[in-house]
Amino acid sequence: MSYVYLLSIFFYLNSSLSFKNINKLAIPALIAGIAEPLLSITDTAIIGNIDEIATESLAAVGIVGAFISMLVWVFGQIRSAISSIISQYLGANKLEEVNSLPVQAIVIVIFGSLLILLISYPFSKEIFQFYNASGMVLDLCSTYFKIRIFGFPFSFFVFAIFGIFRGLQNTFYPMIIAIFGAVLNVLLDFILVYGIEDFIPAMNIEGAAYASLISQIIMAILALYFLYTKTSILLKVTFPMHEQIPNLLGMIGNLFIRTIALNTALYLATSYATSYGNEYIAAYTIGLNIWLLGAFMIDGYSSAGNILAGKYFGAKDYKSLVKLSKKLTKYGIITGFIMAFIGFVFYDFIGQIFTKDEIVLMRFYEVFWIVLLTQPISAITFIFDGIFKGMGKMKYLRNVLIFATLLAFIPSLLLFDFYNLKLVAIWIAFTCWILARGIPLIFKFNKTFISLVNS
């Protein structure tokens, strides 16, 4: 019997909702969760400080980053789907019955990612023309993307394995993998972007892309190693397909539709920012990466909600489920306010990390305060999002995000853009979008489970 299996049973029998025990899951998940945005934010900071065409390169990284985020979120949803099923089986004390599912799920996501690679690679310029990129920025987008796209299968493989570990109530090994990958990416960024005199030529934006690709490959190798050595998960494809595969595909399908709605908002924001000019898309890129970093930091508590909600829901322990939601909401709000406070204290310094272009910085500072004020709001929304994913309520999550995009984000963007507020319009729209996502989740959860506890 494997170490992780024993650890999972330990969590099942002995876990409590104390601050200490929640953070045993949340803090490693937080560190693991920032790996992907850290790859992008490192590229953004380093590319923004190269000697030549820094603004155009930064704009290209931002545009490609928006498209890559879309693909990552679409296929990365399998992590939540796998985690939900495994954690519910754990809660019902039937973990051995789901042993063949993970590898079958991994194969599905790898084939999907390879299909995306084959379709998108030949049409890179056409894709980014759709984002309003042109001229030198379009050429840089194509160059950067044609390298980074090869990292997709490795990233999705890692996400699937992270989902397995989360379902087993273990966030430690994903943390180790993420730390190693993030540190490696930073080192490779400095080496490949700026070069080493008389040894490695400066590769600029291509160097950033290669740094990300290499890091993703190494993370995939580490993930496979830990899955093989630390779990009892069956590492070969067996037939027939597991009975939960249709349920898994249904969850992924709902999350896929949900992610299309999510990325409709991101596409519109990126497209509008690009249409305003290179300085605007560069400033938007900085703001978006900081916002995403904050979101993924909150993801630690969201992941704890995902992991524990699945277990309690599977065990029909609704009292603990409600208690979990209250504690995570409190922790999330505190974390969000801390991040906002740090941002305001170092307001000017943070912008200068990413660029020295005075016009880009001016545009960034015009909206950075909105990015910071959304942090506590985003925290609550993401925590309840994680809880609903853990319970497998993907259909409701899908409907809420469609509603938020169509009835909150798009109308507010059109309205404030009409008044020529530009980047301010975009970030007001994001704020309305986050509120429209979070409020229905809180209402639905309280209506459903508090009544069950009180009955």
The single-letter DSSP state of residue 196 is B
Which is more confidently placed, 53 or 148? Answer: 148
Provide the pLDDT for residue 433: 96
Share of the chain above pLDDT 90, in %: 31
Question: Would you say residue 357 has pLDDT above 50?
Answer: yes
Instruction: Report whether pLDDT(33) > 70.
Output: no
What is the average per-residue pLDDT within 256-283? Answer: 88
Report angle CA 2, 174, 308 to the nearest 5 degrees. Answer: 75
Confidence of residue 17 (pLDDT cuts 50, 70, 90): low
Q: How far is CA 448 from CA 323, 336, 441, 452, 454, in A?
A: 14, 26, 11, 7, 11
What percentage of the chain has pLDDT greater than the value 70? 92
| Higher local confidence (pLDDT), 21 or 246 | 246
Categorize the per-residue pLDDT at 1 as very low, low, confident or very high, splitting at 50, 70 and 90: very low
User: Is residue 324 over pLDDT 80?
Assistant: yes
Residue 309 has pLDDT above 60, yes or no: yes
Q: DSSP secondary-structure letter at 99?
A: T
Q: Average pLDDT for residues 277-289, to the nearest whole number?
A: 89
> Does pLDDT of 368 surpass 80?
yes
pLDDT beyond 60 at 179: yes
Q: For residue 113, is pLDDT > 70?
A: yes
Give one DSSP letter per residue of 420-443, joined into a string.
T-THHHHHHHHHHHHHHHHHHHHH
pLDDT band for 67, please (50, 70, 90 cuts): confident
Q: What are the residue ranges of helices labelled H in 315-357? A: 318-345, 347-354
With cut-offs at 50, 70 and 90, classify the pLDDT of residue 6. very low
pLDDT at 9: 42
**Residue 93 in contact with residue 12, Cβ under 8 Å?**
yes
What pLDDT shows up at residue 3?
A: 40
pLDDT at 303: 78
Highest mean pLDDT out of 50-59, 185-194, 225-234: 185-194
Contact assessment for residue 108 and residue 116, using Cβ atoms and an 8 Å cutoff = no
Lowest mean pLDDT among 33-37, 122-126, 268-272, 386-390: 33-37
Q: What is the pLDDT of residue 5?
A: 42
Q: Does 79 score more than 90 pLDDT? A: no
Which conformational region is residue 422 in: left (phi greater than 0), alpha (psi within -120 to 50 degrees), or beta? left
pLDDT of residue 4: 44
> What confidence tier does 8 reach under pLDDT thresholds 50, 70, 90?
very low
Return the pLDDT at 75: 67
For position 259, what pLDDT does the model report?
Answer: 79
Lowest mean pLDDT among 71-85, 130-144, 374-388: 71-85
Cβ atoms of residues 152 and 70 within 8 Å: no
User: Is the predicted pLDDT of residue 11 greater than 50, yes or no?
Assistant: no
Residue 156 — very low, low, confident or very high, per pLDDT cuts 50/70/90?
confident
Query: Which of 55-64, 77-86, 180-189, 351-360 is predicted with the least confidence, judged by mean pLDDT?
Result: 77-86
User: For 80-94, 172-186, 202-216, 312-326, which range has the lowest pLDDT when averaged over its residues?
Assistant: 80-94
- In the predicted model, is pLDDT for residue 7 greater than 60? no
For residues 17 and 400, the model is more confident at 400
Mean pLDDT of 354-383: 92
Q: What is the DSSP letter of 240?
A: S
- Tell me, what's the pLDDT at 201? 87
Mean pLDDT, the chain, as a whole number? 84
Question: In terms of Cα–Cα distance, which of 103, 88, 79, 78 is closest to 233?
Answer: 103
Mean pLDDT confidence for 340-354: 90
What's the pLDDT score for residue 213?
A: 92
Could you tell me the pLDDT band of residue 99, with boundaries at 50, 70 and 90? Answer: confident
Single-letter residue type at 111:
F
